[in-house]
A and B are shown apart, each in its own frame.
Chain A
Amino acid sequence: MTAEIDPRASSQSPEDFASQWRLIWFAFRRHRLAMTGVVIVLLFYFVGAFAEILAPYDPNSASSKDIYHPPQMVHFIDYDDDNGWSFGPYVVAMNAERDPFTLQTTYTESPDEKIYLDFFAKGQPYELWGIIPMERHFLTTEDPNQRFFLIGADRLGRDMLSRTIYGTRISMSIGLIGVSMSLLLGLILGGISGYWGGRVDMLIQRVVELVISLPTIPIWLGLSAALPQDWSPITRYFAITIILSLVAWTELARVVRGRFLALRTEDFVTAARLDGCRPRRVIFRHIMPSLVSHIIASVSLAVPVMIIAETSLSFLGLGLTPPTISWGVLLKEAQNVRTMSQAPWLFAPGAAVCIAVLALNFLGDGLRDAADPYAQDNN
């Protein structure tokens, strides 16, 4: 009774049974750049999660004799005087010399003095996630009284590496939290707007346009200037995320509305209505699953925007403020010409921003391409 099967197409493939998520995964796996992006992003979040262990020092411990200490190279093979060698990472110590006339400090290597490093050695004590007391660091000096600076030190002699690692936590999480808040707003308002249409749609879209038309930087400035100065760093952190997401939800709301409008006229949605489904079931059971992939893609593209926003706010001195550490706060230190010429390593957090944003964008692109596995079926 059924038609003959085309001999050129083999039909019994596992893809026939594959769900949407598996098809997305098949498509995503082929996207090399996006896979690289995933690895890097995961690495960043890992660093953020275990910042205390991975950082060699407390980010706030200053050292007056190490002001603007330049970066040091790690040597892995240690040669003895009598040509024997052993494995033992070390850095060559640097001594500060102050020019008596210009008062400028210069650091010179003293090759005889080696500072040995060790994995998971005991260092400054800390509390992991503020609860678990620990004192071992991933990589630190064998002698707790010595210090090393892989990417240099800032104007108070604080280790830039430790500070950048701690900054990862705040900067990467502000993206996630901010986006999840704007996602909530965007989904609800965009969904209502797209499903019901008519006047509600009209009203919500005008609000979206209003928010989009506001120039972002002055709005951020205004809102954060309104924050009381005596708020604790953590309250301030949440206030900033709310401010960021209040501006960022519009984009998501538009994406969601567009998809709703497109799907509302699909036959399968009409079929669901005729099956007797109430609007809530139509939305959540029939329309939403088709949206999820697109939403994930736009979320992964919204996170870097958040990160950039936080960085620029903090850079202007209106976002987070010390003692909170974020990439933006760290970059604020690199605002003047003197640092540029004398201590270019203070830009290290900028590189972190770059890499994180690029990786997230690649990830988002890959997700967006993979999000509709059915679109590529024809090829």
Chain B
Amino acid sequence: MSTTDMNTKANTTVLEIKNLSTEFVSKRGPFRAVDDVSLELHAGKTLCVVGESGSGKSVMSRSILQIVDPPGRVCGGEVLLHRHRTARGMGEEETIDLLKLNPKSSAIRNLRGRDIAMIFQEPMSSLSPVHRIGDQVGEAIRLHERVSKKEARERTLELLRKVEIPRPEKAIDQFPFEFSGGMRQRAMIAMALACNPTVLIADEPTTALDVTIQAEILDLIRSIQKESDMAVLFITHDMGVVAEIADEIAVMRFGKVVETGDVYEIFENPKHPYTQRLLNSVRELDRPSERRLAMREKRPVGEPCLVSDGVRKVFGASKSWFKKEVSGGLVAVNDAYLELRTGENLGIVGESGSGKTTLGRCLQRVHDVTSGHILYTNASGQELDLAPMSEGELAQPWRDIRTVFQDPFSSLNPRMTIGQIISEPLIVEGKLSGSQIRERVYELLELVGLPASAFMRYPHAFSGGQRQRVSIARAIAPNPRIIIADEATSALDVSLRTQILDLLLDLQERLDLSFILISHDIAVIRYFCDRIAVMYRGRIVETGDTEEVCTTPKHEYTQSLLSAVPVADPRVRGQKQRVRYHEAT
């Protein structure tokens, strides 16, 4: 591997992006998604492109191979592939400008997947559901190289082994639906590696995955890179992932690269104010909010007000038409015991499919519960069991326990104005007159930091963060006591997350609220919550003080979860011991 070492040391530039611009033509005129971007990729190195949603990082990566969806088009610049500097080069000078090639020509098709390969964010949709894994990976080989079917199959097996898919002999003939998200992403990587590409473009490859799986995929990419001296262009919004994998960083904002540099340099000494802010908001999230701690000093946590006592929820246990017996079904929540005290923030953390959202919905009785009690103590001190109540009886508890939804886009009715949306619970309650409701809505808008002009506007005029504020205003409209926030910040950019969480804390102080925050993101929970409950496969495996659980986790699963969370500091890279947890089955 002498050439590899040479390349790494020599910092060989294999792909050069010069003044790349991409435009989207819309009815309001052209929109520059990528504006004059220049980057360099070096063999054996990882360049991380960081930026918030809409910063143009994805479009930039797609422009390289000219696979931008219309109405977008590359309108300027050069993308130079220095082929002679790669293992594939014949020694003589060979530089190809990818943007000069016709996007439909066979010349560029030959490069796609062979010299430059790509992996995408959604492992669920980037594999064809009707073809076997082996065929899909094998196709990538057969497209670019003349090999027999048998040979291709052997190479595929080797690739699957390389990406650490267990039992490759069996996996090769399986269909994508038989794979979990992490396994699919591994298969995607195998496909991308099929022809030993010089450049790998990874567009948020771990965003859709759980942290524990994310850590494994990152390990995998790193080890493959070491072996084959690949240049990696890694696109992400997560500073933790950047600290884990990057050699160099490019920060993008509004289509422009605002800062580039070495990973240590940028993390320790960011120059651009935007980079500074981005890093600050990440670091802020990783420790308890001082605001919250100060607030608890003044007003200590009170008695339990919402208790889930042995709640069990089984999905799909259908009663048959004639017999009245219950059969099968998926146990989403298994005998959950949990209590929320007044004036407290309780966090529920867990991976996707762990049942945390279902538990949240059961607590509010959006779902029926299969068995168990939900004990709610109302303002007058009366204890009610929500579990057996009908929708009519739930009207008052539903005014006391409110929800902030995860998706700021689907949770607001696009056909109603912001004013109508926020006033809906007040209208239904029927206690206030029309003008009083209007006044109250203006008051609520101010409370959540939205301008009064929002009243007449429709949701489509607002960004994700603003919509989440609307959602919060709707939640606090009927003077609730408890708010269940289900991944309320997950769809938002990092810099907005702290803003929304601070807003919630602010409201807690003013309105005397208790929160249940459901999240997969430990950092968010650590910032916001006093106590934490860790869920795994429908069970609550550990509860306790947030700091206590985060620093000295008792349950093995909690340990593995915490050890997988990437830390936004490149210095500690590789020092942490990762714990893997597999439940005995």
Q: Does A18 contact B (CB under 8 A)?
A: yes
Which residues of chain B from 454 to 470 have a CB within 8 Å of any chain A CB? 456-458, 460-461, 463, 465-466
Say whether B458 contacts A8, CB under 8 Å.
no
Residues facing A in B28-71 (CB within 8 A) are: 28, 31-32, 35, 54, 71
Q: Considering only CB atoms and an 8 Å cut-off, how many residues of chain A contact the other chain?
A: 34
Q: How far is the CB of A200 from chain B (nearest CB, A)?
A: 14
Flag if B71 contacts A379 (CB, 8 Å): yes
Does B414 count as interface, using CB distance less than 8 angstroms? Answer: yes
Is there an interface contact between A17 and B461, defined as CB atoms closer than 8 Å? yes
CB neighbours of A275 from chain B (8 A): 398, 424-425, 428, 474
Inter-chain contacts of B428 with A (CB < 8 A): 275-277, 281
Q: Which residues of B contact A19 (CB under 8 A)?
A: 458
Q: Tell me, yes or no, whether B449 is within 8 Å of chain A by CB.
A: yes
Residue of B nearest to A289 (CB): B415
Chain A residues, Cβ within 8 Å of B416: 286, 289
Cβ of A271 within 8 Å of any chain B Cβ, yes or no, is: yes
Among A20, A275, A286, find the residue whose CB has the most chain B CB atoms closer than 10 A.
A275
B223 CB–A CB distance under 8 Å:
no
Q: Is the CB of A18 within 8 A of B458?
A: yes
Q: Within the complex, which residue of A2, A9, A16 is in contact with B457, where a contact is CB–CB below 8 Å?
A: A16
A-B contact count (CB 8 A): 91
* Residues of chain B with a CB closer than 8 A to A374's CB: 414, 460
Q: How far is A241 from B236 in the complex, measured between Cα atoms in Å?
A: 60
Q: Which residues of B contact A112 (CB under 8 A)?
A: none
| CB of A199, distance to nearest CB on chain B (Å) | 9
**Interfacial residues of chain A within 264-278, with CB under 8 A of chain B in the complex:** 266-268, 270-277
Within 8 Å of chain B (Cβ to Cβ): is A11? yes
Instruction: Give the docked Cα–Cα distance between A276 and B399 (Å).
Output: 8
In the complex formed, the residue of B with least CB distance to A202 is B321
The reply to whether A2 and B458 contact each other, CB–CB distance below 8 Å, is no
Contact of A1 among B395, B412, B449 (CB under 8 A): B449
User: How does the 8 Å CB contact mask read for A3-21 relative to B, with 1 for contact and 0 for none?
Assistant: 1001111110101111110
Chain A residues with CB under 8 A of B212? none
- The smallest beta-carbon distance between B584 and chain A, in angstroms, is 35
- Across the interface, do B415 and A290 meet the contact criterion of CB distance under 8 Å? yes
Q: Is the CB of A276 within 8 A of B398?
A: yes
Report the nearest B residue to A290, measured CB to CB.
Answer: B415
Question: For window 29-79 of chain A, which residues contact chain B by CB distance below 8 Å?
Answer: none
Establish whether residues A3 and B495, one from each chain, have CB atoms under 8 Å apart when the complex forms.
yes
CB distance from A117 to the nearest CB of B (A): 48
Report B422-442 CB contacts with A as 1/0, cut-off 8 Å. 001100110000000000000
- In B313-372, the 8 Å CB interface with A consists of 364, 366
- Candidate in B364, B449, B463, B465 with the most chain A CB atoms within 10 angstroms: B463
Chain B residues in 8 Å Cβ range of A20 = 414-415, 458
Q: Which of B97-105, B296-304, B402-410, B562-570 contacts A (4 or more CB under 8 A)?
A: B402-410
Report the minimum CB–CB distance from B437 to chain A (whole Å).
Answer: 13
- Among B399, B458, B465, which residue has its beta carbon within 8 angstroms of that of A16? B458
User: A81 in the interface, Cβ–Cβ < 8 Å?
Assistant: no
CB of B26 within 8 A of chain A?
Answer: yes
Q: Mark B441-484, 1 if CB is under 8 A from A, else 0.
A: 00000000100000011101101011000000010000000000
A155 CB, min distance to chain B CBs, angstroms: 56
State the CA gap A18–B403 with chains docked (Å): 28
Shortest C-beta distance, B374 to chain A (Å), equals: 15
Provided the pairs A1-B449, A3-B465, A266-B410 are in contact, do residues A17 and B458 lie with their beta carbons within 8 angstroms?
yes
Please give me the residue from chain B that is nearest to A379 by CB atom.
Answer: B71
Residues from chain B with a CB closer than 8 A to the CB of A286 are 413, 416
Contact A6 B54 (CB under 8 A): yes
Q: Does chain A have a CB within 8 A of B128?
A: no
> B179 within 8 Å of A by Cβ?
no
List of B residues within 8 angstroms of A7 by Cβ: 254
Q: A6, B413: Cβ atoms under 8 Å?
A: no
Pair A273/B456 contact, Cβ less than 8 Å: no
Q: Does B499 contact A (CB under 8 A)?
A: yes
Smallest beta-carbon distance B214→chain A, Å: 26
Residues of B within 8 A of A3 (CB): 463, 465, 495-496, 499
* Residue contact A276 to B414, C-beta cutoff 8 Å: no
CB distance from A247 to the nearest CB of B (A): 30
Contact yes or no, A377 B460, CB < 8 A:
yes
Residue contact B458 to A272, C-beta cutoff 8 Å:
no
Q: Mark B387-421, 1 if CB is under 8 A from A, else 0.
A: 00001000100110011011100111111100000
A301 to B388, CA, bound (A): 47
* A16 CA to B451 CA, complexed, in Å: 14
Establish whether residues B424 and A277, one from each chain, have CB atoms under 8 Å apart when the complex forms: yes
Partner of A17, one of B31, B254, B364, B456: B456
Q: Mark A251-274, 1 if CB is under 8 A from B, else 0.
A: 000000000000000111011111
The smallest C-beta distance from B390 to any residue of chain A, in angstroms, reads 12
B461 touches A16 (CB 8 A): yes
Is there a chain A Cβ closer than 8 Å to B176's Cβ?
no
CA gap between A276 and B396 in the complex, in Å: 8
Q: How far is the CB of A25 from the nearest CB of chain B, in Å?
A: 14
CB of A284 to closest CB in B, whole Å: 12
A204 to B484, CA, bound (A): 37
Residue from A6, A9, A271, A277 in contact with B403 in the complex, judged by beta carbons closer than 8 Å: A271
Q: Is the pair B499, A1 in contact by a Cβ cutoff of 8 Å?
A: yes
Residues of chain B contacted by A1 (CB below 8 angstroms) = 449, 499
Q: What's the nearest-Cβ distance from chain B to residue A297, in Å?
A: 16
A289–B465 alpha-carbon span in the complex (Å): 25
Partner of B411 from A2, A8, A268, A290 at Cβ < 8 Å: A268
Is B197 located at the chain interface by the 8 A CB criterion?
no
B205 interfacial contact with A, CB 8 Å? no
**Are B405 and A267 interface neighbours, CB within 8 A?**
yes
Residues in A neighbouring B398, C-beta threshold 8 A: 274-276
Q: Which residues of A contact B364 (CB under 8 A)?
A: 274
Decide: A267 near B460, CB < 8 A? Known: A8-B254, A272-B424, A273-B366: no
Q: Which residue of A lies closest to B410 (CB)?
A: A267
Taking a contact as CB atoms closer than 8 A, the residue among B463, B474, B495 that contacts A271 in the complex is B474
> How near does chain A come to B207, taking the closest CB pair, in angstroms?
18
Given contacts A276-B398, A289-B413, 10 further A-B contacts (CB under 8 A): A3-B496, A8-B31, A8-B35, A20-B414, A272-B413, A273-B391, A277-B424, A290-B415, A377-B460, A379-B71
Between-chain CB contacts (< 8 Å), 17 pairs: A3-B465, A10-B28, A16-B460, A17-B456, A17-B457, A17-B458, A20-B415, A270-B405, A271-B405, A273-B391, A274-B366, A276-B399, A276-B429, A286-B416, A290-B413, A374-B460, A379-B26
Q: A-side interface residues toward B, CB under 8 Å?
A: 1-3, 6-11, 13, 15-20, 266-268, 270-277, 281, 286, 289-290, 374, 377, 379
The 5 A-B pairs with the shortest beta carbon distances in the complex, nearest first, are: A16-B461, A267-B411, A275-B425, A289-B415, A276-B428
